[in-house]
Amino acid sequence: MIRALAFLTPLPVGTTAPPDRRTLAWFPVVGALIGAVLGGVWWGADRLWPAPVAAALVVAADLALTGILHIDGLIDTADGLLPHLSRERRLIVMTQPDVGAFGVAVAIVVIGLRFAALATMTPSVLLLAGIWCASRTVMAVIAGALPYVRDEGLAATVAGTAWQPIALYGLIASVSLGAFAGGRVQEAAVAATFAGGLAVALFARKRIGGFTGDVLGAAGVIGETVALVIASAKW
């Protein structure tokens, strides 16, 4: 649990040890905790400020709780996977610290969609807990199911983990939280997290043959964004 917190957040949890294969089993739990905290921020901010300000605070809180790690992964993944490049060049681009046009454009669109979706919904702690639980479950599934494409790296320590049990309990937990949040729309939104995240994984598999740590972050962020957009739809 502590290693999962250290891997997924910048919180000072008392360890600098890299994650191991047992760490992945705690990803859904940590995701649910992060989502619940964000839901609490959303609920409290909504009572003090207009909806757009509350939504902006939730987006900012998410960036803080993840140390901007996952949005950075999204940017690097966009810069590496979207342009017309060779596989080797894609992997090099994803390690470089500078940001390209693809990464900037994708980050602006994603952050804008997250803000807009949150600004049009009634705050729900359970909904965000379910979505973030699902997004971290997707990360665990990708790490276990796809090959790691680099020779070394932090994510290499969790590659090849048995992912099926994690997927099962993460799916049940996240969708249940969505159902408790208010019904079929929220339940469908949480389930869509898996579709969005796994779409990123399949795209990465096609482009570079597997996953990197950046791909894990991108899959989580895209999955969450898809879920928020669906949850805010006028059904």
Strand, coil or helix: 211: strand
Measured from the Cβ of residue 168, the count of other Cβ atoms closer than 10 Å reads 11
Read off φ and ψ for residue 13, nearest 5 degrees. Answer: -95, 5
Cβ–Cβ < 8 Å for 2, 30:
no
Residue 72 lies in a domain: yes
Q: Which residue has the tokens 């649910």?
A: 32
Residue 13 lies in a domain: no
pLDDT at 50: 97
Residue 15 lies in a domain: no
pLDDT at 73: 95
Residues 162-204: pLDDT tens digits? 888 999 999 999 999 999 988 788 999 999 999 999 999 999 9
- Domain boundaries, position 197: 2-8+21-231
Residue 80 lies in a domain: yes
**C-alpha to C-alpha distance for 100 and 111, rounded to whole angstroms:** 17
Residue 16 lies in a domain: no
Overall number of domains in the chain = 1
Residue 180 lies in a domain: yes
Can you tell me the mean pLDDT for 139-158?
84
Tokens of 133: 């639980």
User: How many residues appear in the chain?
Assistant: 235
Strand, coil or helix: 160: coil
**C-alpha to C-alpha distance for 173 and 144, rounded to whole angstroms:** 19
| Prediction pTM value | 0.94
Residue 14 lies in a domain: no
Residues 77-115: pLDDT tens digits? 999 999 999 999 999 999 988 899 999 999 999 999 999
**C-alpha to C-alpha distance for 14 and 143, rounded to whole angstroms:** 24
